Structure 1
Amino acid sequence: MAGSVSRSARPLTSSRSSPWPNLGNSLFRADATFCPENTADGFRLRSINLPDGYLRHYQAAGYVAAPGGARASDAQNSFDADVTLRAGPPLGI
Protein backbone atom coordinates (compact mmCIF):
# COMPACT_ATOMS: atom_id res chain seq x y z
CA MET A 1 0.00 0.00 0.00
CA ALA A 2 1.62 3.27 -1.11
CA GLY A 3 2.36 5.82 1.61
CA SER A 4 1.99 3.33 4.45
CA VAL A 5 4.27 1.13 6.52
CA SER A 6 4.02 -1.86 8.78
CA ARG A 7 3.91 -0.66 12.40
CA SER A 8 4.96 -2.42 15.57
CA ALA A 9 2.14 -0.98 17.66
CA ARG A 10 0.55 -3.87 19.54
CA PRO A 11 -3.12 -3.44 20.36
CA LEU A 12 -4.19 -5.45 23.38
CA THR A 13 -6.01 -7.96 21.19
CA SER A 14 -3.38 -8.62 18.52
CA SER A 15 0.27 -8.24 17.61
CA ARG A 16 -0.34 -8.84 13.92
CA SER A 17 1.60 -6.43 11.76
CA SER A 18 -0.50 -4.55 9.21
CA PRO A 19 -0.21 -1.47 6.97
CA TRP A 20 -0.95 1.88 8.56
CA PRO A 21 -1.16 5.28 6.86
CA ASN A 22 1.67 7.68 7.65
CA LEU A 23 0.41 9.91 10.47
CA GLY A 24 3.59 12.00 10.45
CA ASN A 25 4.09 12.03 14.23
CA SER A 26 6.95 10.72 16.40
CA LEU A 27 4.95 7.70 17.68
CA PHE A 28 4.26 6.61 14.10
CA ARG A 29 7.95 6.97 13.16
CA ALA A 30 9.03 4.92 16.21
CA ASP A 31 6.41 2.23 15.55
CA ALA A 32 7.55 1.98 11.93
CA THR A 33 11.25 1.57 12.77
CA PHE A 34 12.91 -1.84 13.03
CA CYS A 35 16.66 -2.29 13.56
CA PRO A 36 18.63 -5.27 12.23
CA GLU A 37 20.48 -7.42 14.76
CA ASN A 38 23.06 -9.95 13.60
CA THR A 39 22.62 -13.56 14.70
CA ALA A 40 24.74 -16.66 14.13
CA ASP A 41 22.42 -17.69 11.26
CA GLY A 42 21.51 -14.33 9.69
CA PHE A 43 19.77 -11.31 11.15
CA ARG A 44 16.48 -10.35 12.81
CA LEU A 45 14.50 -7.10 12.92
CA ARG A 46 13.87 -5.64 16.39
CA SER A 47 11.22 -3.02 17.01
CA ILE A 48 12.58 0.34 18.17
CA ASN A 49 9.40 1.15 20.09
CA LEU A 50 8.97 -2.32 21.63
CA PRO A 51 12.51 -3.48 22.53
CA ASP A 52 11.34 -7.04 23.26
CA GLY A 53 9.48 -7.23 19.92
CA TYR A 54 10.80 -8.84 16.74
CA LEU A 55 9.22 -9.06 13.32
CA ARG A 56 8.05 -12.69 13.10
CA HIS A 57 6.56 -14.80 10.32
CA TYR A 58 4.12 -17.01 12.23
CA GLN A 59 1.25 -19.10 10.82
CA ALA A 60 1.36 -17.38 7.40
CA ALA A 61 1.22 -13.81 8.78
CA GLY A 62 3.59 -11.13 10.06
CA TYR A 63 3.63 -10.28 13.77
CA VAL A 64 5.63 -8.24 16.23
CA ALA A 65 6.37 -10.93 18.79
CA ALA A 66 8.26 -11.18 22.08
CA PRO A 67 9.84 -14.53 22.99
CA GLY A 68 7.80 -16.22 25.70
CA GLY A 69 5.14 -13.50 25.78
CA ALA A 70 1.43 -13.99 26.44
CA ARG A 71 0.14 -14.09 22.86
CA ALA A 72 0.08 -17.15 20.60
CA SER A 73 2.49 -15.38 18.23
CA ASP A 74 4.99 -15.11 21.14
CA ALA A 75 5.27 -18.91 21.48
CA GLN A 76 8.81 -20.18 22.05
CA ASN A 77 8.33 -23.06 19.59
CA SER A 78 10.45 -22.16 16.51
CA PHE A 79 10.72 -18.51 17.63
CA ASP A 80 14.38 -18.10 16.61
CA ALA A 81 13.79 -19.70 13.21
CA ASP A 82 10.69 -17.56 12.61
CA VAL A 83 12.43 -14.24 13.38
CA THR A 84 15.75 -14.99 11.64
CA LEU A 85 16.20 -13.72 8.09
CA ARG A 86 18.94 -14.79 5.72
CA ALA A 87 20.16 -12.82 2.72
CA GLY A 88 20.67 -14.81 -0.45
CA PRO A 89 20.76 -14.46 -4.20
CA PRO A 90 17.62 -13.16 -5.96
CA LEU A 91 15.09 -15.82 -6.96
CA GLY A 92 15.00 -16.82 -10.59
CA ILE A 93 18.52 -15.69 -11.42
Structure 2
Amino acid sequence: ELCDRVAFITDGRISEIDTPDALKKRFGRRDVRVIYQNGSQAQAEREFPLDGLGHNSDFIELLRSASRVETIHTQETTLENIFITVTGQELDR
Protein backbone atom coordinates (compact mmCIF):
# COMPACT_ATOMS: atom_id res chain seq x y z
CA GLU A 1 0.00 0.00 0.00
CA LEU A 2 1.47 3.31 -1.08
CA CYS A 3 -0.83 5.78 0.66
CA ASP A 4 -3.00 6.23 3.73
CA ARG A 5 -5.84 8.06 1.97
CA VAL A 6 -7.07 8.55 -1.58
CA ALA A 7 -9.12 11.46 -2.90
CA PHE A 8 -11.08 11.53 -6.16
CA ILE A 9 -11.68 14.94 -7.69
CA THR A 10 -14.69 15.47 -9.94
CA ASP A 11 -15.31 18.84 -11.62
CA GLY A 12 -12.75 20.52 -9.35
CA ARG A 13 -14.24 19.18 -6.10
CA ILE A 14 -13.28 16.27 -3.89
CA SER A 15 -16.06 13.77 -4.48
CA GLU A 16 -14.65 10.96 -2.33
CA ILE A 17 -11.83 10.72 0.19
CA ASP A 18 -11.01 7.72 2.36
CA THR A 19 -8.51 4.95 2.89
CA PRO A 20 -8.00 2.56 -0.03
CA ASP A 21 -9.50 -0.32 1.98
CA ALA A 22 -12.58 1.68 2.98
CA LEU A 23 -13.17 2.77 -0.62
CA LYS A 24 -12.85 -0.82 -1.83
CA LYS A 25 -15.36 -1.98 0.78
CA ARG A 26 -17.81 0.78 -0.05
CA PHE A 27 -17.64 0.70 -3.86
CA GLY A 28 -16.26 -2.69 -4.70
CA ARG A 29 -17.52 -6.18 -5.05
CA ARG A 30 -15.54 -9.08 -3.75
CA ASP A 31 -15.98 -12.17 -5.85
CA VAL A 32 -14.50 -15.62 -6.03
CA ARG A 33 -13.44 -16.86 -9.46
CA VAL A 34 -13.35 -20.63 -9.98
CA ILE A 35 -11.51 -22.07 -12.97
CA TYR A 36 -12.43 -25.70 -13.56
CA GLN A 37 -12.81 -28.54 -16.03
CA ASN A 38 -15.91 -30.62 -16.51
CA GLY A 39 -15.23 -33.98 -18.09
CA SER A 40 -13.58 -33.59 -21.48
CA GLN A 41 -14.74 -29.99 -21.94
CA ALA A 42 -12.28 -27.16 -22.21
CA GLN A 43 -11.48 -25.05 -19.19
CA ALA A 44 -14.36 -22.93 -17.90
CA GLU A 45 -14.75 -20.29 -15.23
CA ARG A 46 -17.47 -18.84 -13.04
CA GLU A 47 -17.62 -16.04 -10.50
CA PHE A 48 -19.57 -16.00 -7.26
CA PRO A 49 -20.07 -13.26 -4.64
CA LEU A 50 -17.77 -13.84 -1.66
CA ASP A 51 -20.48 -12.91 0.84
CA GLY A 52 -22.44 -16.03 1.73
CA LEU A 53 -20.21 -18.25 -0.39
CA GLY A 54 -20.44 -21.19 2.02
CA HIS A 55 -24.22 -21.26 1.54
CA ASN A 56 -24.27 -20.58 -2.22
CA SER A 57 -25.87 -23.69 -3.73
CA ASP A 58 -24.48 -22.99 -7.23
CA PHE A 59 -20.93 -22.72 -5.85
CA ILE A 60 -21.28 -25.90 -3.79
CA GLU A 61 -22.76 -27.80 -6.73
CA LEU A 62 -19.91 -26.66 -8.99
CA LEU A 63 -17.34 -27.95 -6.51
CA ARG A 64 -19.15 -31.28 -6.32
CA SER A 65 -19.73 -31.73 -10.04
CA ALA A 66 -16.56 -30.34 -11.63
CA SER A 67 -14.18 -33.09 -12.64
CA ARG A 68 -11.22 -30.89 -11.73
CA VAL A 69 -10.99 -27.50 -10.02
CA GLU A 70 -7.90 -25.70 -11.33
CA THR A 71 -7.94 -22.57 -9.15
CA ILE A 72 -10.10 -20.60 -6.75
CA HIS A 73 -9.14 -16.92 -6.38
CA THR A 74 -10.72 -13.93 -4.73
CA GLN A 75 -11.26 -10.94 -6.99
CA GLU A 76 -11.15 -7.47 -5.45
CA THR A 77 -12.06 -4.24 -7.17
CA THR A 78 -9.26 -1.85 -8.09
CA LEU A 79 -8.92 1.84 -7.28
CA GLU A 80 -9.08 2.43 -11.03
CA ASN A 81 -12.53 0.83 -11.18
CA ILE A 82 -13.64 2.90 -8.20
CA PHE A 83 -12.33 6.06 -9.91
CA ILE A 84 -14.43 5.25 -13.00
CA THR A 85 -17.51 4.64 -10.84
CA VAL A 86 -17.06 7.85 -8.83
CA THR A 87 -16.09 10.21 -11.66
CA GLY A 88 -17.75 8.54 -14.63
CA GLN A 89 -14.49 8.90 -16.57
CA GLU A 90 -11.74 6.56 -17.70
CA LEU A 91 -8.17 7.23 -16.59
CA ASP A 92 -5.91 8.87 -19.18
CA ARG A 93 -2.97 6.66 -19.98
Question: Same fold judged by TM-score > 0.5?
Answer: no
Relative contact order (alpha carbons < 8 A, sep ≥ 6): 1 or 2 greater?
A: 2
Query: What TM-score, normalized by structure 1, do the two folds share?
Result: 0.22
Q: Which has the larger share of strand?
A: 2
Q: Which has the larger share of helix?
A: 2
